[in-house]
C-alpha cells in the first residue's frame, strides 16, 4: 500500500471561515489562530473545517478495503477501472517476473491466500479464453489490488480516522488510516491529533 498527498487546502481558509462567523481578525496562523482552531475542534464546532480538503493518491489496497473506504460518502473517489485495465493482467502473467503479491493483498493466512491465488488464476484463464473484462471481473477476489484518487474534507476525515483507526476496524483500513495520517502535513495534524496518533 502506498499513500501520497497530492493537494491540500491551507489552514488559513478554515481560520477565515471561523473568523467570518465571529467577525474577528486573523493573525496569519499565529498563536491566536491556532488556539481558535483547537477550540473549535474541542467544542465540536467543526463545520468550518469542511473548507479544508485533502486529495490523496492511494495505490495497492484491496477491493475489500476499497469497499470500506467507499462507505465514507462525503468524499470523492476515482478508482482504476477493471473494465479497462484487467486485460493487462494476462500479459503480466506471461512474464517470468510475475508475482501474485503485485496483484493481491496477501493476509499471511496460507489457506485464504491460496484461495485468492486460485481465484485470480481462474480470472486469468477466463481472460485467456476470450471472456470480456466485465464478465471475468465477477470472479476477482476481494484481495485484488486497486488504485484510486480520494478527496475528502477535514471534518469527514476526522470521522474516517475516528472509525478506521479503531482496533475494531479491518486491519487493512487501519493501516490505510495510519498512512493517510502520516501523509498529512505536520501543521494540519492539529485537526486530527485528538483522534489519531498514527501507528496504532
The DSSP line for 121-148 is: HHHHHHHHTT--HHHHGGG--TTBEEEE
| 124: its cell numbers | 486469468
Is 39 marked as a binding-site residue? Answer: no
* Residue 164 annotated as catalytic: yes
Q: Given 32, 63, 87, 164, which residue is catalytic?
A: 164
Is 32 marked as a binding-site residue? Answer: no
Is 158 marked as a binding-site residue? Answer: no
The residue written with cell numbers 478527496 in the block is 151
Is 87 marked as a binding-site residue? Answer: no
Is 71 marked as a binding-site residue? Answer: yes
> At residue 125, what are phi and psi to the nearest 5 degrees?
-60, -45
Is 97 marked as a binding-site residue? Answer: no
Is 43 marked as a binding-site residue? Answer: no
> At residue 129, what are phi and psi to the nearest 5 degrees?
-85, 0
Is 174 marked as a binding-site residue? Answer: no
Give the number of C-alpha atoms closer than 13 A to the C-alpha of residue 59, restricted to the C-beta side. 6
Asked if 79 contacts 73 with a C-beta cutoff of 8 angstroms, the reply is no
Q: Which residues are annotated as a binding site for FAD?
A: 47, 71-73, 153-155, 159
Q: Which residues are annotated as a binding site?
A: 47, 68-73, 81-83, 137, 153-155, 159, 164
Q: Which residues are annotated as a binding site for dUMP?
A: 68-71, 81-83, 137, 164
Which of the residues are catalytic? 164
Amino acid at each position: 500500500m502506498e499513500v501520497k498527498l497530492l493537494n491540500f487546502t491551507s489552514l488559513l481558509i478554515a481560520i477565515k471561515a471561523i473568523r467570518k462567523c465571529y467577525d474577528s481578525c486573523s493573525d496569519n496562523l499565529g498563536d491566536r489562530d491556532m488556539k481558535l482552531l483547537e477550540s473549535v475542534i474541542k467544542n465540536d464546532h467543526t463545520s468550518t473545517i469542511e473548507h479544508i480538503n485533502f486529495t490523496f493518491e492511494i495505490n495497492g489496497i484491496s477491493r475489500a478495503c476499497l469497499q470500506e473506504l467507499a462507505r465514507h460518502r462525503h468524499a470523492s473517489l476515482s478508482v482504476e477501472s477493471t473494465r479497462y485495465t484487467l486485460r493487462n493482467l494476462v500479459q503480466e502473467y506471461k512474464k517470468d517476473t510475475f508475482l501474485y503479491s503485485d496483484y493481491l493483498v496477501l493476509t499471511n493466512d496460507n489457506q485464504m491466500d491460496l484461495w485468492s491465488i486460485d481465484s485470480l488464476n481462474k480470472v486469468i484463464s477466463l481472460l485467456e479464453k476470450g471472456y470480456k473484462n466485465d464478465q471475468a471481473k465477477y470472479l476477482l477476489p476481494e484481495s485484488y489490488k486497486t488504485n484510486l484518487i480520494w478527496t475528502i474534507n477535514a471534518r469527514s476525515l476526522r470521522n474516517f480516522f475516528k472509525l478506521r483507526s479503531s482496533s475494531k476496524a479491518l486491519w487493512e483500513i487501519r493501516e490505510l488510516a495510519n498512512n493517510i495520517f502520516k501523509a498529512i502535513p505536520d501543521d494540519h495534524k492539529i485537526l486530527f491529533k485528538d483522534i489519531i496518533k498514527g501507528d496504532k
